[in-house]
Structure 1
Amino acid sequence: MFKDVEAVEVVDELISTAQKAQQIYAGFSQKQVDHLVAVVSQKLGEQAEKLAIQAHEETGFGNVKDKIIKNTFASEHVYNSIKDIPTVGEIKRDDINQIIEIGIPMGIVVGLIPSTNPTSTVIFKALLALKSRNAIIFSPHPKALKAIMMTVEMIEKAIVAEGAPAGLIQVIKKPTLEATQYLMQHDKAALILATGGGAMVKAAYQSGTPAIGVGQGNAPTYIEKTANVKEAVAAIIESKTFDYGTICASEQSLVVDKEICKDVIKALEDKKAYFLSAEEAQKVGGIIMLENGGMNPAIVGKPAVFVAKLSGIEVPEDTSVLIAKQTNIGKEYPFSREKLTPVLGFYTVETWEEGMTTCNALLANEGAGHTAILHTQSDERVFDYGLQITASRVLINTLGALGAIGFTTKLAPSLTLGCGAIGGSSTTDNVSVLNLLNIKRIAYGV
């Protein structure tokens, strides 16, 4: 089935090494595990800037300042959220119902790593794997290979120096499609953590190995008539320009009540957003997607001014975001789709019901089950939005990009965001350490 003999041999060797290391690591105590996780948090936090520079230089996506924040988020915020969770032996006891839960490692985890958030995602997944006493083998996106390898080597070196068996954290050094497919289908692989393009996530679910994959984001952001417009717009601009839009939960389209439309437009323009004319929107829309329907990688993680120039239009040099007024939603309308760059669609609605319908239509078009945002001062609207919207994360009065991952909210800090069954995912969770544990239950008879 697999014709690339070298790729098969390499993966088999990685699996063999990981299996031996994990069998030893499975015998580590909670204290030993927690020490290793703390070491990785500290050592990789110290290297946040170095890794950010490497990722930016190699991929050209985003900017160093925000990538440092993402690396720090992964090494510190994720660590703080999992450090006190018991994962070894008895992890929970229910004396009333007489049930004891025991944490069991899964074995070998396969981690698919995207080019948009390469170093931070490696740190995140490595911390989860180590905390749950699993080994992990990373399949890197070729565009970010050096940055991913650098991160893996730092983690492996740090834990081996502290007594961990070598081989817990590994990476395919010559990534190919066949090597990744063989790794995902390997009978010794216990779980796939898939973060990346839709095709790769789908392949993970079709591999025959249990998988947790995340779908595309296309977060609609509804600015409802009771919203604090200035605060809402400030959050949207900060979020959409963070690392130039590379986080998939960032805002993709604005849905605005007609009553406050003029105020919203003024507030956006005050924040240096540029509203495209119909002719300019046609030019920008023409470069958002490729002929095959995929997103144009040339615009991913690039500033608004770069995207404008690429499309052949001129905008002020301090432009923060490009915005196109829209009425249509569909695969053939690029502004209604996911855009991992500072570009937004803008929809005006007459009523709350129309606003809800528009948000759900955007999610159905692309991004079902992922994330939606609402800016409002009405608790009634909050509950209604949360009840009706087809998203797993419903964010209120905060940044889409940072709220969804648990930076500006109390959601579990995570860089793998489940989209539920509606989005083709096996969970709606912000994936964390318990997703990488098998839990055995001892139950007394009643």
Structure 2
Amino acid sequence: MDQALFNSLIDISASPAARKGRAEMMLERARWAATVFDRYDRDATLRIAEAVAEAAHARAGEFAEKAVAESGFGVAAHKKIKNELTAKPLVAHYRDADYVNPRVDEARKIVEVPRPAGVIFALTPSTNPIATINYKVLLALLTRNAIVISPHPAVKETSVEAAEELARAAEAAGAPAGVIQILAQPSIPMVEAFMTSEKTNVILATGGTPMVRAAYSSGNPAIGVGPGNAPVFVDESAEMTAAARRIVASKSFDNSVLCTNESVLITLSSVAGQLKRALKSAGAHVCSDEETEALRRFLFHPRGFNIEAIGRDATWIAQECGIRVSPDTKILVAPITQIGVEERLSKEKLCPVLSLHVTETRAQALSQARAVLRLTGAGHSAAIHAADEAVIMAYASTVEAYRVVVNAPCSQGAAGFATNLAPTFTIGTGFFGRSSIGENIGPQHLVHWTRIAYGSEADVPFGNFHGLGRSFRGALPRAPADGVPGSASAPSAPQPQPSAMSGMDSATRDELRRLIAAELRDLLRK
């Protein structure tokens, strides 16, 4: 990495006090916005979310092209699709869900009152920057939370422009000022200051393992995700032509930068030849042993995966490896004979290269699919193409994944865009992946509920709570300027509190900095 670029990343010119002060001002403004937003009724909340979704949809194509131009990888047409899917369809999916009004359960004599998290600090990746911003902003708005976004440095200009567009749309629709904010100059110390501040209520982390671990070790509540490495099993009961078409479409989508894409294809020797022919007809190039070795050398260096290949076209990768392919080749299929740490091609590959492993029996296939996820990607996603329900159930019960996509593209299916799973750009990896949540992250994870519970005895009458709840009344108080309350209606400035970092020992603080630095160093090159 260029030293000047890395110096700007670690923000060596600003003093720790200045960085902390800037973070605290943004967070105080967000906290004010969240306090005001908590007063809104459901209709006002939905109007704001719908306006923001409309704004995101309107410029989906423009921001897709800008993201590809700035980051240098991916397919603009596919990013446009992702940007659109995380706009109006996302709001439509949750339109009937109510995260604003109390829920009354007369039979159990319980009333549940929604309590938004408050201030969300959201990390976004370089691979899906605008779609992730759309998604996290709308989740925050649907639950009346304020959000501060830390964009990936490799695509920060486009991210800032997109987030500011959403902020303007939200405020024009009546949202309090400061409900959507973004760091214009993200840096390691700034990320550190936000992640450890007591004014941050929850961290919504999307990124590599080091960043997610840093979020969990920050001292604040965090919702994080782990890496993917999805196995896909094509059983002999599958319809081969359809399976091949779906796999190639999924693996080539946005040049395979989604963590839900298929990584290792497993099939049986009885149908391997038929499947290979179907893959070729669908646009795949099946590599020879020599070509597979060339791919292995190019994709994996002694330090790890070659990040130059991330999000690149299959034809570009083939050219770099000296492999002659048709100009319309969509993916490269690399046959491998084993799965494990010794075979680097059985690891995650965020590029249109799909490993292929052939087994003799279904039992072996299921065991190898389980091994793929145990190597990396535990708890994430898996896919199967089959017509035999017993095989599907056995597969789902064997692999350590919380999403098993059946007869659909895994990239889109696990993310909820080609299945009826909840649409998401943050995949919970659960206990298998050392995460607290195993389902697709949605607005329900950004609101908790205060439960009013009456005595269960029959002689204790239950009250009438129908029609009670928050309502939007009158003009909004003036927003604080640079974190300073602007009117008597705004929350008073809190007394200075010790930084969360001050309560951490030096070893923990150094480890947090090291993890964040490792994540940003690696991903800046993408």
Using the size of structure 1 for normalisation, the TM-score is: 0.97
1:159-192: CA deviation from partner (whole Å, max 9, x where unpaired): 1112221111111111111211221111111111
Aligned to 2:398: 388
1:31 is displaced (CA, Å) by 1.3
**SS of residue in 2 equivalent to 1:383:** helix
One-letter identity of the residue aligned with 1:76: K
Q: Which region of structure 1 is more displaced relative to structure 2, 163-172 or 112-121?
A: 163-172
Q: Which region of structure 1 is more displaced relative to structure 2, 406-415 or 96-105?
A: 96-105
Q: Which of 10, 20, 23 is the equivalent residue of 2:32?
A: 20
Partners in 2 of 1:370 and 1:69 — Cα distance?
23
The 5-angstrom pairing of residues 239-388 of structure 1 reads 239-293=250-304, 295-388=305-398
**SS of residue in 2 equivalent to 1:158:** helix
**2:229 maps to 1:184:** no
One-letter identity of the residue aligned with 1:429: E
1:313 is displaced (CA, Å) by 3.0
**2:74 maps to 1:67:** no
**SS of residue in 2 equivalent to 1:422:** coil
Partners in 2 of 1:117 and 1:4 — Cα distance?
31
Aligned to 2:179: 168
Partners in 2 of 1:188 and 1:172 — Cα distance?
16
The structure-2 alpha-carbon separation of the partners of 1:12 and 1:331, relative to structure 1 and needing over 3 Å to count, comes to: farther
One-letter identity of the residue aligned with 1:9: G
**SS of residue in 1 equivalent to 2:270:** helix
1:332 is displaced (CA, Å) by 4.1
| Partners of 1:137 and 1:169 within 8 A in 2 | yes
1:398 is displaced (CA, Å) by 0.5
Aligned to 2:3: none
**2:123 maps to 1:87:** no
**SS of residue in 2 equivalent to 1:267:** helix
| Partners of 2:143 and 2:447 within 8 A in 1 | yes
Q: Which of 400, 405, 421 is the equivalent residue of 1:411?
A: 421
Q: List runs of 5+ in structure 2 lacking aligned partners.
A: 1-13, 457-526
Aligned to 1:145: 156
Partners in 2 of 1:156 and 1:381 — Cα distance?
48
**2:249 maps to 1:238:** yes
What is the number of residues matched between the two proteins? 443
Aligned to 1:47: 59
The structure-2 alpha-carbon separation of the partners of 1:3 and 1:284, relative to structure 1 and needing over 3 Å to count, comes to: farther
Q: Which region of structure 1 is more displaced relative to structure 2, 175-184 or 327-336?
A: 327-336
One-letter identity of the residue aligned with 1:313: I
Partners in 1 of 2:419 and 2:45 — Cα distance?
28
Aligned to 1:130: 141
Q: Which region of structure 1 is more displaced relative to structure 2, 392-401 or 323-332?
A: 323-332
| Partners of 1:221 and 1:374 within 8 A in 2 | yes
Partners in 2 of 1:3 and 1:445 — Cα distance?
56
Relative CO higher for 1 or 2, CA cutoff 8 Å, sep ≥ 6?
A: 2
1:82 is displaced (CA, Å) by 1.4
Partners in 2 of 1:107 and 1:375 — Cα distance?
42
Aligned to 1:220: 231
Aligned to 2:491: none
One-letter identity of the residue aligned with 2:22: V
Partners in 1 of 2:424 and 2:430 — Cα distance?
15
1:267 is displaced (CA, Å) by 0.6
**2:116 maps to 1:116:** no
**SS of residue in 2 equivalent to 1:301:** coil
1:435 is displaced (CA, Å) by 0.4
One-letter identity of the residue aligned with 1:415: F
Partners in 2 of 1:201 and 1:331 — Cα distance?
23
1:61-87: CA deviation from partner (whole Å, max 9, x where unpaired): 211111110011000221111122111
| Partners of 1:11 and 1:172 within 8 A in 2 | no
| Partners of 1:226 and 1:378 within 8 A in 2 | yes
One-letter identity of the residue aligned with 2:34: Q
Aligned to 1:31: 43
Q: Which region of structure 1 is more displaced relative to structure 2, 430-439 or 92-101?
A: 92-101
- Please identify runs of 4+ aligned residues in structure 1 that moved more than 4 A: none
Partners in 2 of 1:9 and 1:289 — Cα distance?
42
One-letter identity of the residue aligned with 2:402: S
| Partners of 2:367 and 2:398 within 8 A in 1 | no
| Partners of 1:104 and 1:437 within 8 A in 2 | yes
One-letter identity of the residue aligned with 2:116: P
1:394 is displaced (CA, Å) by 0.7
Aligned to 1:401: 411
1:383 is displaced (CA, Å) by 1.5
Aligned to 1:101: 112
Partners in 1 of 2:343 and 2:18 — Cα distance?
43
Aligned to 2:206: 195
Q: List runs of 5+ in structure 1 lacking aligned partners.
A: none
Q: Which region of structure 1 is more displaced relative to structure 2, 172-181 or 93-102?
A: 93-102
One-letter identity of the residue aligned with 1:151: A
Partners in 2 of 1:141 and 1:17 — Cα distance?
22
| Partners of 1:149 and 1:173 within 8 A in 2 | yes
1:278 is displaced (CA, Å) by 2.1
Partners in 2 of 1:119 and 1:220 — Cα distance?
27
Partners in 1 of 2:111 and 2:60 — Cα distance?
39
1:336 is displaced (CA, Å) by 0.3
RMSD between superposed Cα atoms in Å = 1.3
Q: Which of 199, 212, 221 is the equivalent residue of 1:210?
A: 221
**SS of residue in 1 equivalent to 2:201:** strand
| Partners of 1:89 and 1:104 within 8 A in 2 | no
| Partners of 2:50 and 2:88 within 8 A in 1 | no
Partners in 2 of 1:388 and 1:443 — Cα distance?
41
One-letter identity of the residue aligned with 1:187: E
